[in-house]
Amino acid sequence: MAYIAMATGFLLVLIGFYGALTQRNLLRMIVAFTIADSGVNIVIVAIGYMRGRTAPILDATVSAAEAVQRIIDPVPQALVLTAIVIGVGITALMLAYAYRLYERKHTLDIAKLTDLQG
Amino acid sequence: MDFDWMKIPYAFLTVFIVVNYGFLMTALIQKIGARVGRRYGIPIWQNYLDMIKNYGLRSSITHGAMFYLGPVFRLSGGVGLLLFVPSIYGSYMFSNLSFAGDLILALYFVFFGTLGMALGAAESGHPHAAIGITRGLSQVSMAELPFGLAVFSVALQYQTLSVTDIVAAQQGGMLTWTLFTNPLAVSAAMLSFLGSMMRPPFDVVIAPQEIPIGPPTEYHSSYLALMQTNRVIFPVAKIVIYMNLFFGGATSWPEFFLKVFLIYMWSAFVGVVFPRFRVEQSIRWFLVWAVPLGVLSIMVV
Amino acid sequence: MNALTIFAIGLGTAFLLGLLGERQKSLGYMLTLAALTFMSAVSASWLVVFAATGADSFDIFTAGTAPPFAINLRMGLIEAALTLLINLTGLFAAMHMGDALLRLGQRAMAVLIIAIMALCGIVLTRDIFNLFVFFELIVIATAGLVLLSDDDSALAAGFKYLIVSQFISALLLVGIIFAYHATGTLNIDGMAEAAAAIDPSVSGAFAIAFFLMFIAVVAELKPFPANGWALDMYEAAHPGFSAVFSAASGTAALYAVDKLLQIGGTDWLPVATGIGIVTFVGANLLALPQTNDRRLLGYSSIAQTGLILTVLGQQDIFGDDYFFIAGGLLFAHALAKAGLYWLSALVAGRTLPDWAALQSRPLLVFAFISCVAMLSGLPPFPSFYAKWELAHLLVAEGRSGLLALILFGALVEAGYLFRWFGYLIKRATPAESIACPAHQLLPIAAAVLGGWALGFVWGELSSSYFGRTNLLLTLPLFFALTFLLLDWLPAWVKNTLAIGGMVAFFSLTYAEYDPLRLIFAVIFLIGGAVTLLASYHAHGRRIGFYPAAMLMYAGMIMLIRASDSFGFFAAWELLTVGSYFLILRGKHSEPHALSYIVFSLGGAFLILAGFALAASAVPPAPTFEIAQLADLVQPVAPWVFLLLALGFMTKTAAIGVHIWLPGAHAEAETDVSPMVSGILLKAGLYGLFVLLMNMGKQSLYGVELTYVMLWIGAITALLGNLMAIFQEDAKRLLAYSSIGQMGYALFGLALMNHLGWLMALMFVINHYIYKSMLFLSVGGVAKRTGTREMFKMGGLITLMPLSFIATLIGIIAVSGVPPLSGFGGRWIFYNAILTADARLPMVLIFLSGPIAFLYLFRLIHTIFLGQLKDEHRRLKEAPFWIILPQMIYVALLMVVAVVPGMVLRHVDAYISQFFPDGALNWEGSTITSQFGYWNPVAIMIIVGVIFMLLFGWLLFVNRRAQKVKQFNFVFSAERPFRPETTHFAWNFFAPYRKAMGFLVQPFVTRFWAAVTDLLHTAADITRRLYNGNGQTYAFHFLLFVVAVFTFRMGM
């Protein structure tokens, strides 16, 4: 299960990268990055997953004493939360950029935004 | 400094002898040259007549200070050169002022007069003077090279720069002359000699047809007299160096007269046979023919 | 104060700013400044604590738990220094961008604070995921701050930056999670421990994980060639922010790489080195053809970061010196780059020549050149000390190849930076003056003063740890720098001070020198003072002249006084830089000054490498004494010799590296030419003296190096003289003549016998006197006539008689005609060669002797003799102050001519300790060698007497001589048309060119032109990679990742 998740994650990353490198439309590129981000997040979660264990929540079913044996590693999950937040932030920023670029240059084609070179 | 004051009258004596000898000898060589060309030539005392005439001229002009000093430089160069080298080997009387310096002094003093003369002539503002000087300087820079190499070779050979010592080393008969002990150096030097005698084929400096007499164009009257005096002293002084370095020097005045005359004749002989070179031609000629000999001579000595 | 306050203040202020109303921008701005000041104060207080007490760094724990269960941060000396740098950069950037921040409002201010805070976070944190978070914060903040710019293209640049950042963050995240998986911790120190003890079965996987983290963080350094996005940012962003992007972001990212390398261990150091050096060289090359100032600075930033990355990669050999070196480079880079970016805001145009606008503001020029000097690693800045240690440690570990690459890159960098400085000084100033609001000047002043202060700090560190000199505390340099503060005084006051200082210093120290050094000291100090007399002719304040001149003289005297290699090299660089500024002052000297500085720095680098190599061959000691050169043995010794000799010969303009000299000397100002020709060239000869005195003959692969030098000297003498005769420009003629004369001196030294050295010394003295004199008189004439072309002059003898006399005496002396002093040199020369082993090179020297007559005659004839031109009829003699030193020189020449023994016999005795044979005999007034003799007094008297007698005679017989007018001469009974057509002067030695011109084809010039062309072309081709497309840049980045991965796996 974990391997499937990880493989899916990597596949998504590759799809995202491929899209970001081949799509010339800014919005499509942003979407591609979102896909890659999701892929990364899946990979992270997949790494933290351990077979047969439960969610890392200390409550009635899992006591603090036996937590180490019963729960999966909580750290990647925590990380993924942060990563998602950051991903959202950057995606928002890129969208804002795309908007401003379209406003100024009336194009969303990355290949036309080459006024600085060399 | 302990200086023997008698050296001064002796030096005057040397100059006196050389001037008179020079007047007669150069006239004689002129005459020989004229005869080769089927002309009669000048009388043997012509130089004296010229001197009298030049000093006697009443009109005299100057173009400025350097112009005025040019002939003075020129003649000082000739006289100095003569006096810095002993004329007669073994004679205290005619060792002149050679205590002041060795061969190198003489070699470099050659340029004293040349430079001063060039400056004087240049101040006249005459383009022919300037042209003559550029030609002269260009030519001499290459013509002197084989001679310099030969001198170096000779100095290496005798391990000394003192003219007296070099002559002393050649006193064992003709076969001890540098001419025979170091023929390469001597041939290089003798080719170089041609370049410094202002005779064809190397007389483009004063080429009469193109730049009437070159640097001295503007000189006349007593200036010319001074320069003419130099024109007889300077070659002799120069030949004395050649004689001392390559031909065993001279132990008496007759030997001196003979050797100087014969060495002078070498340039006269070549001069009547060959036509004039342009500057770049003569530079190439020295580079191709004389310099390799000189280089060879310093390599094998 | 707790270091976490930085974050508290940062975040708190950022939120607070958000709460402020639209109309409270000023208040917000005040808050921003206050917050940044406070953050800086926190860092500063820690820096003081650590520096004063020497306390160890300590960890700060958060969330009440120890790592790995909570994030911890670390504060120590390094962290305190770096965060201080970052915070101050932020503070001054905020100050600098005040207008833009106020326009955009509180949000922009908040973003700036967050960016600075996050940069501090990168430095402080010890948690890898935390590092990631801070990096992402910076990405967001950076992308936000780019919008501060007025430049339209900033938008696109920001987007490109975001694209690549996305790739980077994906890699970083994946790397982190796998590294966590392999080691079970996110703590950097914990990860480092775990990595060291890792199970071999997963070590491969961990390596890949580490690689991903590593490459992602390295990408933040904008490594070449995967950095197109960063360049666009540098170019388009607001310069206030570019400073942050360069100085602060670069610093933080470098420290992050350092942390990662702790995890990766020594295996990864070569990777860092490789990326670093490729970046350094590549970015510098690409900077070469840049025309936009900010883009150029961007390239330079990237290059400098690459250099520091190289140092990080070499940390295994640096030991305790690691932070000294890396820090020296880093701080110099950060301050200089920040200073330059802030300066760029004052300049309206965006091309390099537009910077000429700064000309009218000497303080800004000073700021600019301070920054350039910091970047180029010139003394007394921290980068200089760092460069020195870096070179030594690299060579000591046998990594000379790396050093060679570094020095090459540094030379290219110095090339474009100094070219830029040349534009700044020499190009036409735009009409409108530049506005300098105080809030923009303050940051610049802070950067520059910070640089100087750090120079002092690094000097102190260097002196306490390595026993070297703190350059800023040496008296000569201090004296020279004082003139920076006195520059508001009138020129004549400064001139008096300068002369007084030099004479005073000499009179205080002359007893300390041995005879050889004494000669050089006299020439440098007393000779320099005499030459400075000519500077009294200048009016006004002459801004910039005295600091430069004094810097040069300070360098020269420090050179003589230096006993260890460090002092020697520092002095060498100082005199080089000082003379460069002097040369650059000439009206048309921009390209020539550039080629001077490039050749000189190239030579200096060779010397640096030579000393480093030498120090590596002797037992380790804090300092390498110059005298220890004598202890070197095969196989190192000949290489040291080669490097040092090449370095010194660059300064003496030996053939092949001579092309800088003619322009530099000819285009310099009237009183500068004698300084740089008569005096400065001797520094190179001094170096050669020292080298040969200590190392003697050396052979490499069976070739005796002194023999090669002999040939170089001979060829230089010949070609220098030959080229001189074809010059139309009087000062160029003299300059080429200097090349020839230096060839003679080099030749004399390389003869390696007693008289050869004596002759070289004689040339040192003579050349100083007559070349100074000739340059002054020709300079005086050029001042009056307004041209240096000789054929435009003529007949000036009556108008400028004193100049004429000086020239006349000068040329007689140069040509070596008795009775003047040049003859002494020739006489010693002939005696010297009689004992030499090699004879063939003499031929060339023999040939070059008479050639000197050609150009000397041309000089005096075409200027002073011949026909006076109509436009010159009213000229006056050169100014008094230019004539006065000439007359002193005339007197000096006479003295040296008559009693050369006064000076030389002491040196003769001194040389005997190296070559016992061949000493001259100085009895009475006759000087005797084993071959010949020479009596200067007698010669002078005899020639004088003969001359006076004949002169008297001529006066007597020719007393009626009439002075005639100019055109009154025999001219085919015609009157010449005009002076111009009659003055035979142009192309004076045409026949000579026909015969010998093949020898003076500009082969060497063409060679160096081809080299620079090649560099430019290579750079131009590579530039096409940067096509401006964000996707291409992302693709570059991925390719770069793959390439590094392949390289690493192949290792």
Q: Does C989 touch chain B (CB under 8 A)?
A: yes
**Chains in contact with chain B (at least 3 beta-carbon pairs closer than 8 A):** C
Inter-chain touch B63–C932, beta carbons under 8 Å: no
The CATH code of the domain that includes A14 is 1.10.287.3510
Residue of A20, A43, A89 lying closest to C1034 (CB–CB): A20
Q: Contacts from B248-251 at CB under 8 Å and sequence distance 24+?
A: B248/B167, B248/B170, B248/B171, B248/B174, B248/B176, B248/B177, B248/B178, B248/B179, B249/B89, B249/B167, B249/B170, B249/B171, B250/B87, B250/B88, B250/B89, B251/B88, B251/B89, B251/B90, B251/B91, B251/B171
Q: Is there a domain that residue A61 lies in? A: no
d(CA A97, CA A83) in angstroms, rounded, equals 21
Q: Does C965 touch chain B (CB under 8 A)?
A: no
Report how far Cα C369 is from the mean position of its chain's Cα atoms.
Answer: 11
CB C263 within 8 Å of CB C205: no
Q: Is there a domain that residue A22 lies in? A: yes
Q: Is there a domain that residue A43 lies in? A: yes
In sequence order, what are the beta bridge partners of B115? none
Q: Residue A44's domain spans which residues?
A: 2-51+72-112
CB B118 within 8 Å of CB B215: yes
Q: Does A20 touch chain C (CB under 8 A)?
A: yes
pLDDT recorded at residue C56: 87
Does pLDDT of A116 surpass 70?
yes
Q: Is there a domain that residue A56 lies in? A: no
pLDDT tens profile B96-106 = 999 899 999 99
Q: Does A69 touch chain C (CB under 8 A)?
A: no
Does pLDDT of B1 surpass 60?
no
CB C908 within 8 Å of CB C762: no
Q: Does C144 touch chain A (CB under 8 A)?
A: yes
Inter-chain touch A113–C1028, beta carbons under 8 Å: yes
CA dihedral B30, B36, B38, B39 (to 10 degrees): 0
pLDDT recorded at residue C184: 84
Distance from CA of C473 to the nearest CA of B (A): 51
Enter the tokens of residue C982: 């009659």
- The H or E element that residue C933 is part of is strand C933-934
pLDDT recorded at residue C112: 94
CB C1026 within 8 Å of CB A117: yes
d(CA C708, CA C747) in angstroms, rounded, equals 10
- The string of DSSP letters for chain A reads -HHHHHHHHHHHHHHHHHHHHH--BHHHHHHHHHHHHHHHHHHHHHHH--TT-B-S--SSSS-TTTHHHHBPPHHHHHHHHHHHHHHHHHHHHHHHHHHHHHHHHS--BGGG---S--
Contact list in C for residue B140 (CB cut-off 8 A) is 850, 853
Average pLDDT over residues B123-151: 91
Residue located via tokens 């409002």: C105
> Nearest 5 degrees, angle CA C356-CA C359-CA C360?
130
Residue of C865, C962, C996 lying closest to B123 (CB–CB): C865
Three-state secondary structure readout of C536-558: HHCCCCCCCHHHHHHHHHHHHHH
Report how far Cα C566 is from the mean position of its chain's Cα atoms.
Answer: 16
d(CA C702, CA C705) in angstroms, rounded, equals 9
Q: Is there a domain that residue A19 lies in? A: yes
> Nearest 5 degrees, angle CA B83-CA B89-CA B95?
30
Q: Does B263 touch chain C (CB under 8 A)?
A: no
Spell out the residues 6+ positions from residue C97 whose beta carbon is closer than 8 angstroms to its own. C112, C148, C238, C240, C241
Rg of chain C on CA atoms, in Å:
32
pLDDT recorded at residue C786: 93
Q: What is the number of helices (H) and of strands (E) in chain B?
A: 12, 1
Q: Is there a domain that residue A20 lies in? A: yes
Does pLDDT of A79 surpass 80?
yes
As for how many domains chain A has, the answer is 1
Distance from CA of C793 to the nearest CA of B (A): 13
Instruction: Give the mean pLDDT per block of 10 residues along chain C (1051 residues).
Output: 88 91 88 96 94 88 79 92 96 93 90 95 94 94 85 88 94 92 89 86 86 95 90 91 94 95 90 96 94 94 96 90 94 96 92 92 94 94 95 93 96 96 92 84 96 96 89 93 94 96 95 93 96 94 94 96 94 96 93 96 96 91 88 91 96 93 94 94 95 92 92 95 94 96 94 92 92 95 94 93 95 89 89 87 89 93 93 94 96 90 87 88 88 92 95 92 87 84 90 89 93 94 90 93 90 73
d(CA B208, CA B250) in angstroms, rounded, equals 35
Does pLDDT of A91 surpass 90?
yes
Contact list in B for residue C808 (CB cut-off 8 A) is 119
Inter-chain touch C842–B68, beta carbons under 8 Å: no
d(CA A82, CA A93) in angstroms, rounded, equals 17
Which sequence spans correspond to the domains of chain B? 7-300
> Nearest 5 degrees, angle CA C563-CA C569-CA C570?
100
pLDDT tens profile B14-61 = 999 999 999 999 999 999 999 998 999 999 999 999 999 999 988 889
pLDDT recorded at residue C764: 92
Distance from CA of A63 to the nearest CA of C (A): 19
Inter-chain touch B134–C827, beta carbons under 8 Å: no
| pLDDT grade for A1, boundaries at 50, 70 and 90 | low
Spell out the residues 6+ positions from residue C834 whose beta carbon is closer than 8 angstroms to its own. B152, B155, B156, B159, B161, C931
Inter-chain touch C186–A26, beta carbons under 8 Å: no
- The H or E element that residue B235 is part of is helix B221-246
Enter the tokens of residue C233: 């940012």
Enter the tokens of residue C23: 């109309």
Q: Is there contact between A and B if contact means ≥3 C-beta pairs under 8 Å?
A: no
Alpha helices (runs of H) in B89-217, residue ranges in sequence order: 103-123, 127-158, 163-168, 178-181, 183-195
Q: Is there a domain that residue A57 lies in? A: no
Spell out the residues 6+ positions from residue C25 whose beta carbon is closer than 8 angstroms to its own. C102, C105, C106
pLDDT recorded at residue C62: 84
